[in-house]
Amino acid sequence: TSTSTSAQAQDPAPLAVQGAGSVKQQISNLAALSLRATVPEVDVEPVVEVCTTKFGDYQCNNAMGLWSKVKGSGTSFKNPNAIGQAIAKNLPTCDVIESTSVAGPGFVNISLSNSWVAKRIQDMLVNGIKTWAPVLPVKKLVLDFSSPNIAKEMHVGHLRSTIIGDTLARMFEFSNVDVLRRNHVGDWGTQFGMLIEFLFEKFPEWEELGSQAIGDLQLFYKASKEKFDNDAEFKDRAQQAVVRLQGGDEKYRSAWKKICEISRNEFDQVYKLLDVQLEEKGESFYNPYIPQVLEGLSNQGFIKESEGARVIFIEGHKIPLIVVKRDGGFNYASTDLAALWYRLNVEKAEWIIYVTDVGQQQHFDMFFKAARMAGWLPDPKEKKFPKTSHVGFGLVLGADGKRFRTRSTEVVRLGDLLDEAKSRSKSELVQRLKDNGKIVDWTEEELEKTSKAVGYGAVKYADLKNNRLTNYTFSFDQMLSDKGNTAVYLQYAHARICSIIRKSNMEVEELKMNGKISLDHPDERVLGLYLIRFAEVVEDACTNLLPNVLCEYLYNLSEMFTRFYTNCQVVGSPEEPSRLLLCEATAVVMRQCFQLLGITPVYKL
Ligand code: ARG
């Protein structure tokens, strides 16, 4: 809808014209056109931010940087402010911008036109929130998350990885990126020798056994480890079992498969509870690729002999990356190199993202550097893609400030945890409904469904709302509180909006088509502007791999809605049609946030 001149229309910045992408992207595209007209001799990326003052909604901050580039080069500009004035003047005339002003050293304040903001919201209501998806500079990525180890504990770290990874996947998928959700399970390694031998010993009839019969695989792992540590003869057998397994012995391979299958069933239960989709491509999958990948690296001269092992020396690291152990076996690093090679060359992913605790940072740092050395990845200064990122996260702590454990077991069983969140939220819900006499309106099924959505959502949100790098303390009381920044509070906020809409006598569906949003009241305008920031928030969360950015937005949105609702009467007011549409738009955006966070929204509470 830009009315740029024909010369500008040929510019490779058509997004502003098409109206796709976030508002920030659109303003940036307008700014890019202006910058090209203002300083044609300088090639510069537009710097557009949300305005921090009340003098505008967005601001373009290029003037100062440009000044330092052009001053002394015979430019006609006298100071950065003059550049700012020119940028403001050269912004294409269009229906997006209402007015501009220039502050101090050339900050260009941009105020959006109310009618454009209103129209954007209304278009979204008619055509769906998918039209607010940001446009990201990547088409296909691998998201490696969850990735527990077979027969070992699936600990809270894996829970964090699962929750954070799933949210990132949902945000990228919403943004039309092809996401390969990969479960890089630890299904290969020396521990299998001991597990297999133990299986043969404890369950001679193992081939006929269903996965239930073996019972708890973690206990099975513990028992076999104990035997391994205390029984030299067993240890010997276990070590030979590894050799046979890796040599492809039929019997050992099918025993290995059995053990993996049992683990897989356990993991799948958790994924089902959490509503997380994952495709398993475990470490074993990449095993056949390791020799050729290492040979390539070796031919390039990167692999050296060191104390009997084969290693890659990496700049800035004292200890080299071991890729073949002294006993000739491959390890975590060689598997990751082969997996990266596969993801780049076979799957052709442009971005490969790994979600694990920060404790593994060094490992990722090293093999990313090795890949860069080998020329698999471009110098990030030259090209943005393909690239790799490690999404690290901190610990989950218990009330005692130590690593989170439950009372009964050393490990935290995810299923139990979610169960407890659900039953706690159910008893609170039931109590509240009894207190206000509404319990009669609820069926048992509804109660169950609602407390599940609230309880599970609370666990996820408590994790996601923190900057992932910080440790956080796991507390049911906190996460299930209906006050403060919690999923429960947000569920109530959403349900309340739904009830406002239900209470009105107007038909929202009809209003979407024929009504009109106006943003005359300051609190209407603030809410409207915040609603249309949704896309850039998702863009920011994706670009920086930070789910908490979306949580913050969701929480702020509900606060802004409260302010609007307190100061602007909806039901029964002359502005009811327009305000009802703002209620609906808020509910739609909130639900989309919930969806991206993997939380099931509740419509009645
Ligand atoms: N299985 C590993 C663990 O439990 C996580 C794997 C992460 N992914 C990877 N490609 N290294 O710590």
Q: What is the DSSP string of 35-102?
A: HHHH-TTS-----EEE-SSTT-SEEE--HHHHHHHHTTTT-S--SHHHHHHHHHHHSPPBSSEEEEEE
Cα 541 to ligand 1 centre (Å): 23
Cα 368 to ligand 1 centre (Å): 15
222 to 226, 260, 410, 566: CA distances (angstroms): 6, 16, 12, 58
Angle at alpha carbon of residue 224, lines to 220 and 225, rounded to 5°? 115
Cα separation, 536 vs 538, in Å, equals: 5
Choosing from 142, 289, 343, 356 the residue with most ligand 1 atoms within 8 A of its CB, the one to mutate for a pocket test is: 356
Cα 140 to ligand 1 centre (Å): 21
Cα 579 to ligand 1 centre (Å): 49
Cα 549 to ligand 1 centre (Å): 25
| Minimum CA distance residue for ligand 1 atom 8 | 184
Cα separation, 181 vs 145, in Å, equals: 7
| Minimum CA distance residue for ligand 1 atom 6 | 147
Choosing from 144, 145, 146, 147 the residue with most ligand 1 atoms within 8 A of its CB, the one to mutate for a pocket test is: 147
| Minimum CA distance residue for ligand 1 atom 7 | 147
Measured torsion, CA atoms of residues 476, 482, 484, 488, in degrees rounded to the nearest 10: 80
What letters, b where the CB count within 10 A reaches 16 and e where it falls short, cover 45-78? ebbbeebeeebbbbbbbbbbbbbeebeeeebebe
Q: Which atom of ligand 1 is nearest to the CA of 356?
A: 7
| Minimum CA distance residue for ligand 1 atom 5 | 147
Residue 344 φ/ψ region, left for φ over 0, alpha for ψ in the -120 to 50 degree band, beta for the rest: alpha
Asked whether the beta carbons of 302 and 290 are under 8 A apart, the reply is no
The pLDDT of residue 7 is 37
Q: Which residues is 279 bridged to in the sheet?
A: 182
Cα 147 to ligand 1 centre (Å): 5
Cα 361 to ligand 1 centre (Å): 11
Minimum mean pLDDT among 16-25, 93-102, 253-262, 404-413: which range?
404-413
Cα 160 to ligand 1 centre (Å): 13
Q: Which atom of ligand 1 is nearest to the CA of 152?
A: 4
264 to 146, 150, 185, 279: CA distances (angstroms): 12, 8, 9, 11
What radius of gyration, in Å, describes the C-alpha atoms of the chain?
Answer: 28
Query: pLDDT of 50-60, one tens digit each?
Result: 998 899 999 99
| Minimum CA distance residue for ligand 1 atom 11 | 336
Asked whether the beta carbons of 557 and 142 are under 8 A apart, the reply is no
Minimum mean pLDDT among 88-102, 226-240, 397-411, 572-586: which range?
397-411
What is the SS3 assignment for 321? strand
Cα 287 to ligand 1 centre (Å): 15
279-280 and 303-306: which strand pairing? unpaired
The pLDDT of residue 411 is 61
The pLDDT of residue 8 is 38
pLDDT band at 87 (very low <50, low <70, confident <90, very high): very high
List the structure tokens of 457.
């959502």
For the four alpha carbons of 298, 301, 302 and 304, in that order, the dihedral sign comes to positive
What is the helix (H) or strand (E) element at residue 495, kind and residue range?
Answer: helix 487-503
Highest mean pLDDT among 144-153, 250-259, 397-406: 250-259
The pLDDT of residue 401 is 86
Residue 408 has pLDDT above 70, yes or no: no
Q: What percent of the chain has pLDDT over 90?
A: 82
Residue 4 has pLDDT above 50, yes or no: no
Q: Is the pTM of this model over 0.90?
A: yes
Choosing from 155, 184, 279, 389 the residue with most ligand 1 atoms within 8 A of its CB, the one to mutate for a pocket test is: 184
The pLDDT of residue 275 is 96
Asked whether the beta carbons of 120 and 112 are under 8 A apart, the reply is no
CB-count exposure of residue 145 (10 Å: 0-12, 13-18, 19+): buried
Q: Which atom of ligand 1 is nearest to the CA of 363?
A: 11
pLDDT band at 338 (very low <50, low <70, confident <90, very high): very high
Residue 5 has pLDDT above 90, yes or no: no
Cα 207 to ligand 1 centre (Å): 29
What is the helix (H) or strand (E) element at residue 60, kind and residue range?
Answer: strand 58-60
What contacts 298, CB < 8 A, 6 or more positions away?
none
| Minimum CA distance residue for ligand 1 atom 3 | 148
The pLDDT of residue 247 is 87
ipTM surpasses cut 0.90: yes
The pLDDT of residue 176 is 97
Mean pLDDT along residues 521-544? 98
pLDDT band at 410 (very low <50, low <70, confident <90, very high): low
Residue 16 has pLDDT above 70, yes or no: no
Ligand 1 interacting residues, C-beta cut-off 6 A: 144, 147-149, 184, 186, 336, 339, 354, 356
List the structure tokens of 601.
């929204």
Q: Which atom of ligand 1 is nearest to the CA of 360?
A: 12
Residue 19 has pLDDT above 90, yes or no: no
Q: Which atom of ligand 1 is nearest to the CA of 354?
A: 8
Choosing from 146, 267, 360, 364 the residue with most ligand 1 atoms within 8 A of its CB, the one to mutate for a pocket test is: 360
Altogether, the residues listed in the chain come to a count of 605
Angle at alpha carbon of residue 122, lines to 119 and 128, rounded to 5°? 130
Q: Which atom of ligand 1 is nearest to the CA of 144?
A: 8
Cα 354 to ligand 1 centre (Å): 8
Cα 137 to ligand 1 centre (Å): 27
The pLDDT of residue 380 is 84
Residue 477 has pLDDT above 50, yes or no: yes
Asked whether the beta carbons of 470 and 450 are under 8 A apart, the reply is no
Mean pLDDT along residues 116-136? 97
Q: Which atom of ligand 1 is nearest to the CA of 336?
A: 10
Cα 183 to ligand 1 centre (Å): 9
Q: Which atom of ligand 1 is nearest to the CA of 364?
A: 11
Cα 275 to ligand 1 centre (Å): 21
Asked whether the beta carbons of 602 and 494 are under 8 A apart, the reply is yes
Residue 489 has pLDDT above 50, yes or no: yes
Residue 189 has pLDDT above 90, yes or no: no
pLDDT band at 417 (very low <50, low <70, confident <90, very high): confident
Residue 195 has pLDDT above 50, yes or no: yes
